[in-house]
Homo-oligomer: A and B are copies of this chain.
Amino acid sequence: MGAVKTKRMPRAVREQQMLDAAVRTFGQRGYMAASMDEIAELAGVSKPLVYLYLNSKEDLFTACIRREAKALTEAVRAGARPGLPADRQLWSGLAAFFTHTARHPDGWAVLHLQARTHGEVFAAEVAAMRTEIVAFVTQLILEAAREAHRDPDLPEREVSGLAEALVGAAEALADWANATPGVTARQSAATLMNFAWAGLGNLMEGRHWTPPDDEAGVGAGEAQTGRTSPVR
């Protein structure tokens, strides 16, 4: 099943077939539940060949993560054409992001769900990609501020937090959209722009939402639902 069993293909092609099979299997079954047997069969190859080309399950998974991460970042970068005003860039970058995650659900699952849940090594791999995207978005925010002729006296960390939140919201929306039939990429992008843009605008103009000083007991009072040991 899967790819038609043709003999003697060039290595590069075979490798892609294996990665296809692996992404699909990892995405659907999860990293640990996916067996090399299943992947090999889906790729239409024998198991030793998989090992010959990809070395080990870990390496195979890493290869999947890298390929999918690259595809996703490239899709986003390709979407957000420089030259446009910052808000337009953000919009089209988001649209490209949602389009891509919708078209490659298994790849998205690998990146967003699997890679982050199975060991530091893999998590670091996606973290790199995420960092890149967050940086990109941060860039856009600052650029937008510049375009609006506002001196961005937003503190460094705050801007990072904002970008982080924006990206996090995008990720959540991507999951939500993938699980909710009938939601288009454009709708998701619009929702997010609506949600975020005005807030950003306000911030750039120095209008912050101010937390009340006195928050007697915020975070205190912990409803102790039976936990025994202190916390960790």
Contacts and interface: CB of A to CB of B under 8 A. Distances in A.
- The main secondary structure of chain A at its interface with chain B is helix
A232 B187 contact: no
A198 B198 contact: yes
A156 to B, nearest CB: 12
How many copies, total?
4
Interface string A71-113: 1001100110000000110011001101110011110000001
A88 to B, nearest CB: 7
A169 interface: yes
Interface in A117-150: 117-119
Residue of A87, A91, A98 most packed against chain B (CB within 10 A): A91
Interface residues of A, number: 91
A185 B13 CA distance: 49
Contacts of A100: 219, 222
A201 interface: yes
A197 interface: yes
A74 B221 CA distance: 10
B193 A92 contact: no
A55 interface: no
Interface in A138-170: 157-158, 161-162, 164-170
Given A161-B187, A191-B162, A171 B172 contact: yes
Given A218-B99, A222-B103, A176 B164 contact: yes
A7 interface: no
A173 interface: yes
Given A118-B33, A167-B172, A195-B199, A227 B162 contact: no
Closest 7 A/B residue pairs (Cβ): A168-B172, A99-B219, A74-B223, A198-B202, A32-B32, A199-B199, A169-B169
